[in-house]
Amino acid sequence: MKFTILGSGGANPTPRAFCQCTVCKKARRNGEPYKRNCSSLFVNDINTLIDCGEDIGDSVNRRNIKQVDNLFITHWHPDHTFGLRIILEANCKKKGNVSYKMVHIYIPKNVYKTLKQNFPVIDYFVNIQKTGKLHLIEDGQKINIKDITVKVIGYRGKVSDTYAYLFECGEKKVLYAPCDTISFNRYINFNNLDLVIHECGLFSDDPSEISFKTLMCRLKEIKPKKVILTHIEEGQINYWGEKYLKSMIRKYSDINFVFGYDGMEIKV
Ligand SMILES: [Zn+2]
Ligand SMILES: [Zn+2]
């Protein structure tokens, strides 16, 4: 399986609009790897996108992605969904505003309920413009796309409002859990993972988010072969500095992890 990290940034991509901090200035001046778009992943073998924040158009263009067939959503938050229009309407012919290609959108039932309230225009794309074919999914379900199986993982089972996806091909297993993993309490069920792509958590203590320290404890338990950390907040780099991130790699040298960047390609 081949994966590309399209966006490794946090809820506020880097550079943050208007911001004149050193992190944002550097990202504006040098671009990648300092520029980080909203969190999203591309599964190259099956033209499948996971999440689409507001800047998804830039993310797919930067990687020259020519087609998206499937789109999976982890949770409703704008940095993961508000780029839906860009992905769906891109397949719309101007004349008559009709779709010439449908993207299969996979959204967990609970997530769809909240998404519809916060992003009601999704109904227009699915039912009128028909640029998206909606598939409501739930925890435990498996979706087969070519030779890859995508397993739906609710952080708290069927009642979850946030989801991870497990990609399986032959013996290989890759878990993608990019955001809000504080409520993900079923880690212990996941062993023998070849790769985990996971939010990096906060270096500061904030009870509403997973801390980096807690994440390291979880990873020690499930022992994945490799870990890529993503959803890296500009505010965190700004406060702690890039050197601090590097020092974490030394501190937790028993865990095979790296910090991801936009455009990072991984073959498993
Ligand atoms: Zn900034
Ligand atoms: Zn997020």
Q: What is the mean pLDDT of the chain?
A: 94
pLDDT (tens digit, 9 = 90+) per residue, 30-51?
999 999 999 999 999 999 999 9
Q: Where are the domains of the chain?
A: 2-267
More confident residue, 188 or 102: 102
CA 29 to ligand 1 center in whole angstroms: 13
Question: Residues with Cβ within 5 Å of ion ligand 2?
Answer: 79, 179
pLDDT (tens digit, 9 = 90+) per residue, 163-213?
999 999 999 999 999 999 998 877 767 889 999 999 999 998 888 899 999
pLDDT at 97: 63
Ligand nearest, relative to CA of residue 37: 2
Question: CB neighbours (10 Å) of residue 26?
Answer: 16
pTM for this predicted structure: 0.95
CA 37 to ligand 2 center in whole angstroms: 11
CA 164 to ligand 2 center in whole angstroms: 12
CA 98 to ligand 2 center in whole angstroms: 31
CA 75 to ligand 2 center in whole angstroms: 8
CATH number of 2-267: 3.60.15.10
Ligand nearest, relative to CA of residue 22: 1
pLDDT above 70 for 95:
no
Q: What percent of the chain has pLDDT above 70? A: 97
